[in-house]
Structure 1
Amino acid sequence: MRKRRSSSKVMEERLSARDEDAAEWRDEPRRLGVERMKQRNLLYERGTRSHYENAEYYDQAYRRRRADIDFYAEMASRFGGPVLELGAGTGRVSRAIAEQGVEILGIDSSEPMLERAERRRKKMRRAARELLEFAHGDLLELRLGRKFPLVIAPFNVFMHLYDREEFQRAMDTVRAHLAPGGVFVFDVLVPDLRALLRDPDRLYSAGTVSLPRRGRRYKYKESFNYDPIAQVLVITLYFQSLEDPEEILTQTIAHRQFFPAELEAILHYEGFEILERYGDFEREPLLDFAESQVLVTRLGATPYSRSRTSQ
């Protein structure tokens, strides 16, 4: 008769096997893990790009968003120019800053957004138009060889940085372009726990919209899929034609979620001190019901990662 193993023996064997598997993962495929992260980030970036390919729809969707424009224009008046804007998009913020007489350079990686930004720049009055310039550039690699007293990244630009390495490279870009004593101002959303906990298999209705150049109205629905390990929320937008239900268009936005205490720690790690922090663009305090984190920061010390490396 076969002897039955005790439950404690079975547990010991399972724990031993688990430890062996963990050791194998640590010793051999760390490279594989890094490659998987890179592939995941690439998928996020490709998916999100679809949201920025239709620049006309972007302008239509956010045409009523004004509070951040006024806030950043005020920052430009306060700290002076020239200003460097990272993630300029169609120039919503850049135009307002140039209109008040401050020189600004807007950088973006999306050609359709930049083309629309340039068309709109040409329609500005001459004095403002000459203060505004747009250029194509990658936030992670940009090196202009110029310094600016103010660098800004409005409208959740940094939520498109999907891991620590990308955040570090973006902060290197900011650091490379800040003049001595210069200020970096940016905003990201406060994570919305309701959105993070939504059923990923369900579509949530968001009303109807008109899409530019299509002449039709569409049912607009969204799905939410949150990766709690990567802290990335993937939102897929579905547009179904009311005239032809077979016509369904999709866009994807992937947003890295930054919890307030976490973001403060990351900035400290990168050598930036927070001068001011708000919960909206009206300068209300960052409280538990706030939607945004609006931060005014300054380079204050050697980044922790560099200081450790040099020891």
Structure 2
Amino acid sequence: MDSDRLRVEFMDTVYEAASRDDVDYYVDLATTVEGPVLELGCGTGRIYLELLEASVDADGIDLSADSLAALREKAEQRGLEPSVWQANMAEFIVDKEYALVTCPFNAVQELTTIEQQQALFESVYDALAPGGKFVFDTFVPNFAYITDMWGEWQQRTIEFRNEPVEFHTCSRIVDEVTQEYVSEKKAITQDGEELFSFQGRATLLPYRELELLARSSPFESWKVTGDYTDESLTNEHSAQVWTLIRT
């Protein structure tokens, strides 16, 4: 198995072991709308497959062919029939109208230019039926944590294929003006073999920047809540959840 497939499988193990409230939130949301649902950045199906289990009429797109291959394998094992394809969420085109489009797990932050971000909002707007919603989340930048922890390698042990593997991560700001950062990850076996290493570039996307994007988008109205609840966003929350509505 090549390093890309190993990375996908390993990161799947990491994410499945994490305790997050977003799965139940997006599943509950998808089961309340009348019409099909589209998940952007569906990855290996951490949320998407739960939508299918809940009998949601759901499609998904992702840029990674390896992630989609893993999703299809897991779907087959669970007796599910996915409708997913490879596409760039900043410039996708669909042939149906969706009641709900979602983009979970900070995926919007991977679009690092204003042109990409605006293209995303426009593509989603065009994909939605009248009254449809676009719901996505990003993390609230915790600058105390960033100051203390970013720039230093963090390490933990992950059980992978019945063997302990050392998982190393490091995030660092690479452009203070644009608030872009790089997140590096690598996995090393007990024998010192590197299974994979990769890095991804993203942007912090604080509230005011997202508000400006919403104001410049075709969407007519929006609201923001914290931590996958109905609570208004405050400093106590670690995730901001945006709901943009096509009226």
Tell me if both proteins adopt one fold, taking TM over 0.5 as the criterion. yes
Secondary structure in 2 matching 1:181: strand
Rounded to whole Å, the distance in 2 between the matches of 1:73 and 1:116 is 20
> 145, 152, 156: which one pairs with 1:207?
156
Aligned to 1:272: 219
Secondary structure in 1 matching 2:32: helix
Does 2:105 match 1:155? yes
Aligned to 2:176: 228
Rounded to whole Å, the distance in 2 between the matches of 1:254 and 1:241 is 25
Q: What's the CA shift string for 1:266-308, capped at 9, x where partnerless?
A: 11111325543211013333111321111111135xxxxxxxx
Pick closer, same or farther for the CA change 1:274–1:190 going to 2, 3 Å: farther
Amino acid at match of 2:155: A
CA contact 2:102–2:134 (8 Å) conserved in 1 = yes
CA contact 1:87–1:107 (8 Å) conserved in 2 = yes
Rounded to whole Å, the distance in 1 between the matches of 2:195 and 2:184 is 12
Rounded to whole Å, the distance in 1 between the matches of 2:201 and 2:73 is 28
CA RMSD of aligned residues (A): 2.5
Pick closer, same or farther for the CA change 1:218–1:71 going to 2, 3 Å: same
Rounded to whole Å, the distance in 2 between the matches of 1:257 and 1:266 is 14
Q: Per chain length, whose mean CA-contact separation is higher, i.e. which structure has more relative contact order (CA < 8 Å, sep 6+)?
A: 2
Rounded to whole Å, the distance in 1 between the matches of 2:105 and 2:202 is 12
Aligned residues: 244
TM-score (norm 2): 0.87
Rounded to whole Å, the distance in 1 between the matches of 2:69 and 2:195 is 26
* 5+ long unaligned stretches in structure 1: 1-49, 301-311
Q: CA deviation at 1:115?
A: 0.3
> 45, 63, 80: which one pairs with 2:34?
80
Aligned to 1:33: none
Amino acid at match of 2:231: E
Q: What's the CA shift string for 1:124-167, capped at 9, x where partnerless?
A: 34xxx24x311111112211222111111111110111010010
Pick closer, same or farther for the CA change 1:261–1:124 going to 2, 3 Å: same
Rounded to whole Å, the distance in 1 between the matches of 2:59 and 2:227 is 25
Pick closer, same or farther for the CA change 1:205–1:115 going to 2, 3 Å: same
CA contact 2:186–2:194 (8 Å) conserved in 1 = no
Aligned to 1:260: 207
CA contact 2:221–2:246 (8 Å) conserved in 1 = no
Secondary structure in 2 matching 1:119: helix
Q: CA deviation at 1:220?
A: 2.4
Rounded to whole Å, the distance in 1 between the matches of 2:9 and 2:194 is 20
CA contact 1:240–1:248 (8 Å) conserved in 2 = yes
> 221, 228, 237: which one pairs with 1:290?
237
Q: What's the CA shift string for 1:188-231, capped at 9, x where partnerless?
A: 1111213543587x533332234458x45225242423412222
CA contact 1:163–1:230 (8 Å) conserved in 2 = no
Q: Which structure: larger Rg?
A: 1
Q: CA deviation at 1:90?
A: 0.7
Matches within 5 A, 1:1-311: 54-63=7-16, 64-125=18-79, 129-130=80-81, 132-197=82-147, 202-212=151-161, 215-218=163-166, 220-244=168-192, 247=194, 249-299=196-246
Rounded to whole Å, the distance in 2 between the matches of 1:186 and 1:229 is 24
Amino acid at match of 2:182: V
Q: CA deviation at 1:103?
A: 0.4
Q: CA deviation at 1:105?
A: 0.4
CA contact 1:80–1:102 (8 Å) conserved in 2 = no
Per residue, is there more helix in 1 or in 2? 1
Amino acid at match of 1:266: L
Rounded to whole Å, the distance in 1 between the matches of 2:69 and 2:226 is 33
Identical aligned residues as a percent? 27
CA contact 1:81–1:104 (8 Å) conserved in 2 = no
